[in-house]
Amino acid sequence: MKSNLKTIIFCLLIFIFFSGFVAHKFYVSTTKVEYVKERKSIQIISKIFVEDLEQVLQERYSSRVQLDSKRETELDQNYLIEYVLQKLKFKVNGNDAPLIYIGKEYDIDILHIYLEIEEVEELESINIENKILLDLFPEQQNIIHFSNEKNNRNLILDKNRPNGLLNFN
């Protein structure tokens, strides 16, 4: 765990060395948020690099956290859900809206996390706070793609501005 932190901080603040091949090299997550009126539901899919997420969970909880390998434990999953629900927050029409965790799946190096907000009769405004990985990577950008039947709106959230408000009236 220690050497990991060292590597990361070294990487970020001192030299950034890049090699001939980049695994992903830019720190971005994307979250698709869709309001489906007929089902009164806000559907959320967050896509995050597994490597980054594994690192942050190792830093915060335990150096033994392993994602997406045969050794991923139930505890690792719980850490993951706890972290995501702590860092991703929604306000719907001005009120805190609880996120329901639906599940997750791995697409090789990217994790897809499925979340839902139920019982949204009308959507007048939505406030999204996404602090995922901001605690580890200062240059992390969390991009939000919002859509309903009329609108496509984007938010780019980062350390300086981790939340954004979308109004629909």
| Closer of 15 and 96 to another protein (Cβ) | 15
The token pair that represents 129 in the structure block: 């706070």
Nearer to another protein (CB atom), residue 36 or residue 85: 36
- In the complex, least distance from residue 6 CB atom to another protein, rounded to whole angstroms: 4
Least distance from another protein to the Cβ atom of residue 89, Å: 19
Q: In the complex with another protein, which residue's Cβ is closer, 44 or 92? A: 44
User: To the nearest whole angstrom, how small is the minimum distance from the Cβ of residue 93 to another protein?
Assistant: 21
Question: What are the contacts of 79-88 at 24+ separation with CB within 8 A?
Answer: 80/53, 80/104, 83/53, 83/56, 83/57, 83/132, 84/46, 84/113, 84/115, 84/132, 87/130, 87/131, 87/132, 87/134, 87/135, 88/31, 88/46, 88/115, 88/128, 88/129, 88/130, 88/131, 88/132
Which residue's CB is nearer to another protein, number 23 or number 94? 23
| Closer Cβ to another protein, 39 or 94, answer by number | 39
Burial call 76-108: b when 16+ CB within 10 Å, e when fewer? beebbbebbeebbbbebeeeebebeeeebeeee
Q: Shortest gap between Cβ of 32 and another protein (angstroms)?
A: 8
Q: Where along the sequence are the contacts to another protein (CB under 8 A)?
A: 2-3, 5-7, 9-26, 28, 30, 32, 34, 43-45, 50-51, 66, 68-71, 102-103, 105-109, 112, 114, 116, 138, 141, 143, 147, 152, 154, 156
